[in-house]
Structure 1
Amino acid sequence: MSALGELAAMMPSPQDGGPSVPWEELEASWGAPFPSDYRAFMETYGPGAIEDYLEILQPATWDAQRTGSGMSPGTKNARKGWDLEPTKAFSVVSPPVLIAWGVDASADVLCWDASGPVPDEWPVLVWKRGAHEWRRYECGMVEFLRRTLQGELESNPLGDAALWGRQRAKFLSREEEERLLDEGIDPWE
């Protein structure tokens, strides 16, 4: 079974899948294609939240001026964080090319090290803000999520145990979460 299939067994996806994404436009703006597991995740789930803790960012074009939330601001934040946090739990020859794909309620930022020429080989880097350190995981985004939910990594990669070893998780798209909130329903209960 693929990593996405294993993840879907632990975290059911929305019935309609994710929204259509203009990949060519996005990839031209970032200067590289996105990893195939991320593209498959977006087709299956789309952007949204896992257990009201981890936000999977909406794929968006690079905009160095954009502020707020999203892929560009998350990336700018991660790149600043790289310089601010001296502790790296791995050796570094040169600074990585960071692209953020997730943020969590602990203010951690989840990225790819997009330095390599093959996107499917980009490792996940996590800026664990509360611990003031960066950690590197030699896997893609979907495998990282699966291993986090299974508790299979060396230690909890995030600032809270909300997802660590959980085995089952709830994913809500932004649209579904907003719809439920508009109806006065707490989407996470």
Structure 2
Amino acid sequence: MWIDSLKALMPPHPGAGDIVDWGGVEDSWGAEFPRDYKEFVALYGEAGVDDYLSVLLPQPQTGEAHPPLREMEIETRLAERVWLEEKGEVAPKIIVWGVDSSADLLCWRATQDDADEWPVLVWNQDDAQWSDYPCGMVEFLVRIFRADFDECPLGDLRLWGNASPKFLHRPEEQRLRAAGLDPWTGEPDPCAGMFA
């Protein structure tokens, strides 16, 4: 099971994981979310990995023209716009589940009725191209950490072949920053308090 492989590579820390009203989220998105993603959210929650990758937490869609900050919805709209600009056609149903510091968009191509069959779809900003990966989100992460694709799907090699990636639940990252620490190194943050 891929979630067990992920836990072995990147153990969740105490207090990680988020509770989501999946019924409300799925009703508003008009689709069920994949089981492996739900398991990820329960174990890790809204998360950062190695200060590079952010895994997004779903919120019910508002349908508003200018919604309050809800990252998954905003990033999904961005992905649809990028698809239209690059391909000259309306995007298939896409849902963004992650973004990284290279401005890559990690999505599902959500065109099948069974969410567990959705492939991962990546917009690689550096290469300016879309690529499909016939696997689920958790398998995709494990295969990135094991360098188990022909080449790295992302714009940076930071996670590629990283056998011990560091994970932080978003509230833990915020707590460490508020304490004046760089959450990724544990060292005092020289910029702490400058932007409060």
Measured against aligned partners, the alpha-carbon deviations of 1:69-110 in whole angstroms (never above 9, x if no partner) come to 6100010011011112249xxxxxx84210000000001000
**1:95–1:33 Cα change, 3 Å:** same
Q: 1:116 aligns with which of 99, 112, 136?
A: 112
Distance in 2 between the 1:127 and 1:63 partners?
25
Runs of 4+ in 1 over 6 A off after TM superposition: none
Distance in 2 between the 1:97 and 1:58 partners?
18
Query: 1:18 is matched with which residue?
Result: 17
Query: 2:46 is matched with which residue?
Result: 47
SS of the counterpart of 2:126? helix
SS of the counterpart of 1:179? helix
Q: Could you tell me the TM-score, scaled by structure 2's length?
A: 0.89
User: What are the equivalent positions in structure 2 for 1:136-155 lying under 5 Å apart?
Assistant: 136-155=132-151
SS of the counterpart of 2:144? helix
Query: 2:30 is matched with which residue?
Result: 31
Matched residue type, 2:183: P
1:83 and 2:84 equivalent?
Answer: yes
Distance in 2 between the 1:139 and 1:67 partners?
32
Cα shift at 1:14: 2.3
Cα shift at 1:36: 0.2
SS of the counterpart of 1:85? helix
Query: 2:92 is matched with which residue?
Result: 96
Cα shift at 1:11: 0.6
Matched residue type, 1:105: S
Matched residue type, 2:83: W
Q: Does structure 1 conserve the Cα–Cα contact (< 8 Å) formed by 2:72 and 2:96?
A: yes
Q: Does structure 2 conserve the Cα–Cα contact (< 8 Å) formed by 1:86 and 1:133?
A: no
SS of the counterpart of 2:81? helix
1:72 and 2:73 equivalent?
Answer: yes
Calculate the aligned-residue CA RMSD, in Å.
1.7
Query: 1:57 is matched with which residue?
Result: 56
Unaligned stretches of 5+ in structure 2?
186-196
Q: Could you tell me the TM-score, scaled by structure 1's length?
A: 0.92
Matched residue type, 1:84: E
Distance in 2 between the 1:176 and 1:37 partners?
23
Cα shift at 1:16: 2.7
Q: Does structure 1 conserve the Cα–Cα contact (< 8 Å) formed by 2:102 and 2:125?
A: yes
Indicate the percent of aligned positions where both proteins have the same amino acid.
43
Q: Does structure 1 conserve the Cα–Cα contact (< 8 Å) formed by 2:16 and 2:169?
A: no
Q: Max radius of gyration: which structure?
A: 2
SS of the counterpart of 1:131? coil
1:9 and 2:8 equivalent?
Answer: yes
Unaligned stretches of 5+ in structure 1?
88-93
